[in-house]
């Protein structure tokens, strides 16, 4: 399948363009949004698990159009944060860059950035923009008020969704995948843990298991288990895990007092998000923006000039 950026270049007949990633798709706040910025957004979305490449849908074209709109808002909001005197120290951006890089070598880091169609400067700009918008959110949050009536009303309407998550205490054995089935059989047959942990790494884990959390691969089985059961093997981080359930506390509805702070935060977040959206619309109106191309068709999407049939 051809790369979408090649289709853009061909579709627009950009005979003079040096790189299709440099095609300007939109403009806002004095910043140009190029095709490479949309490729970056798509790469990040794929890393988060979004399926954008189904050849039988228009998912990628819709994603590019939505990403263009989102980037316009982000650029205008970050510019507004700077206008209000909100600051993000270089040290904070540096720390986030270092956290993302971790222990990777220069070559490994270069390959990671390339897989996201980014340079270090691109990543730095992206982080700075996000941190500026977060500062703006914090400023707006200071102006938000949530009443007791709001909190109680939200709790009444959503009590069935507000639950204390299930908790489990597990004794786990970590081992190479090829050994896992045999270890699980031995443990179920009554082999003592001191015998097994002589060969494999043992840990006691205390987990909070929410319904939408897939971080622990055996979550569903654990929630259905009884103390004493041996479960697995499950695969995680290139290893296999076999677990013995020590205890499971099922999820239960939260009381109003338990849910109060969570409800207040949700209401504040909702009001801040609404205020941020209103501000973005106002900034669009005041400062203007231009979208030069939209996307349509099944992947790879075609770009066409705004206003064309």
Note whether 138 and 9 are same-domain residues.
yes
Classify 26 as helix, strand or coil.
strand
**What pLDDT score was predicted for residue 92?**
95
Note whether 137 and 167 are same-domain residues.
no
- CATH label of the domain that carries residue 204: 3.10.50
Note whether 12 and 128 are same-domain residues.
yes
Would you state the structure tokens that stand for residue 38, as one six-digit string? 């949309």
What's the structural domain count of the chain? 2
Alpha-carbon gap, residue 10 to 33, rounded angstroms: 19
Give the range of the structural domain holding residue 111, as residue numbers without chain letter: 4-143+271-305
Q: What is the pLDDT of residues 233-283, one digit of tens each?
A: 988 767 888 999 999 888 888 999 999 999 999 999 999 999 999 999 999
Q: Hey, which bits of 9-86 come out as E strands?
A: 24-28, 31-34
**What pLDDT score was predicted for residue 220?**
81
**What pLDDT score was predicted for residue 12?**
47
- CATH label of the domain that carries residue 292: 1.10.4030.10
Rounded (10°) angle between helices 120-141 and 256-287:
120
Does residue 24 contact residue 292 with C-beta atoms inside 8 Å? yes
Q: What is the pLDDT of residues 24-46, one digit of tens each?
A: 999 998 899 999 999 999 999 88
Note whether 89 and 128 are same-domain residues.
yes
Q: Please give the model's pTM, rounded to 2 decimal places.
A: 0.70
Would you state the structure tokens that stand for residue 105, as one six-digit string? 């070598």
Note whether 197 and 279 are same-domain residues.
no
Q: What is the pLDDT of residues 84-123, one digit of tens each?
A: 999 999 999 999 999 988 888 999 999 999 999 999 999 9
**What pLDDT score was predicted for residue 13?**
39
Residues 6+ apart with CB under 8 A from 49: none
**What pLDDT score was predicted for residue 121?**
94
163 or 275, which is more confident: 275
* Cross-strand bridge partners of residue 293: 305
pLDDT tier, 81 (very low <50, low <70, confident <90, very high otherwise): very high
Note whether 79 and 210 are same-domain residues.
no
301 closest CA partner among 48, 57, 15: 57
Q: Is the dihedral of CA 309, 31, 48, 164 positive or negative?
A: negative
Alpha-carbon gap, residue 189 to 175, rounded angstroms: 18
């Amino acid at each position: 399948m051809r790369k979408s950026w090649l289709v853009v270049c061909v579709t627009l007949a950009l005979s003079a363009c040096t790189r299709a990633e440099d095609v300007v798709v939109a403009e806002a706040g004095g910043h140009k949004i190029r095709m490479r910025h949309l490729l970056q957004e798509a790469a990040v979305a794929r890393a988060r698990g979004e399926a954008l490449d189904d050849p039988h849908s228009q998912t990628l074209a819709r994603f590019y159009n939505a990403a263009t709109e989102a980037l316009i808002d982000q650029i205008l909001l970050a510019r507004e944060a700077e206008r209000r005197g909100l600051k993000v120290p270089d040290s904070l951006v540096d720390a986030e860059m270092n956290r993302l890089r971790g222990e990777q070598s220069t070559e490994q880091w270069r390959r990671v950035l390339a897989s996201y169609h980014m340079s270090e400067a691109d990543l730095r700009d992206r982080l700075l923009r996000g941190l500026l918008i977060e500062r703006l959110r914090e400023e707006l949050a200071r102006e938000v008020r949530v009443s007791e009536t709001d909190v109680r009303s939200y709790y009444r309407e959503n009590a069935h969704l507000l639950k204390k998550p299930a908790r489990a205490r597990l004794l786990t054995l970590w081992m190479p995948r090829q050994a896992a089935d045999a270890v699980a059989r031995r443990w179920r047959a009554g082999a003592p843990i001191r015998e097994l942990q002589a060969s494999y790494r043992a840990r006691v884990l205390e987990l909070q298991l929410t319904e939408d959390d897939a971080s622990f691969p055996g979550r569903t089985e654990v929630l259905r288990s009884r103390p004493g059961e041996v479960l697995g093997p499950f695969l995680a981080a290139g290893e296999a895990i076999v677990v013995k359930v020590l205890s499971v506390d099922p999820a239960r509805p939260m009381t109003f007092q338990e849910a109060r702070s969570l409800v207040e935060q949700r209401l504040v977040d909702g009001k801040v998000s609404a205020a941020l959206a209103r501000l973005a619309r106002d900034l669009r109106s005041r400062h203007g923006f231009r979208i030069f191309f939209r996307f349509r068709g099944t992947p790879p999407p075609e770009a066409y000039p705004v206003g064309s049939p």
